[in-house]
Amino acid sequence: MHDLSEQLKKLFPDHQPSNEPEQVDETPHELYVQKEPIICQYEKRKGKPTTIISGYEGTDEDFKILAKEIKSKFAVGGSFKDGEIIIQGDYRDKIMKFLQEKGFKTKRVGG
């Protein structure tokens, strides 16, 4: 560990290290909760079952955050493309329950 600080001193000879704690903004990001329901539909793409979540009216950034939460919570693969979250497998019921717990209205479509 001591070697690293010496290497940094060589790279930045004028730098004075500060012992003040860094201020970090820790306000959690609030997702936009809309009045219209989010649509959860089941489709087979290339012979494989997929769950498609669409109809979100907030920003794409919020929808990407939501996609990441869903993928990590259910340990599934998926992607965000063209305003839709595409999840591998049929997880409609679990995802709809998860979205409802977050305060979203959901609508089941297909199958």
What confidence tens digit (pLDDT) does each residue in 7-64 have? 888 888 887 777 777 666 655 567 777 778 888 898 898 899 999 999 888 888 888 8
- pLDDT at res. 111: 62
The CA distance from 75 to 67, in Å, is 12
Pairing of strands 106-109, 48-54: unpaired
Residue 109 pLDDT > 80: yes
Q: Which residues contact 94 (CB under 8 A, 6 or more apart)?
A: 74
Residue 68: other Cβ atoms inside 10 A = 13
For residue 77 the two structure tokens come to 């693969």
On the question of pLDDT at 1 being above 70, the answer is no
Residue 43's beta-bridge partner residues? 50
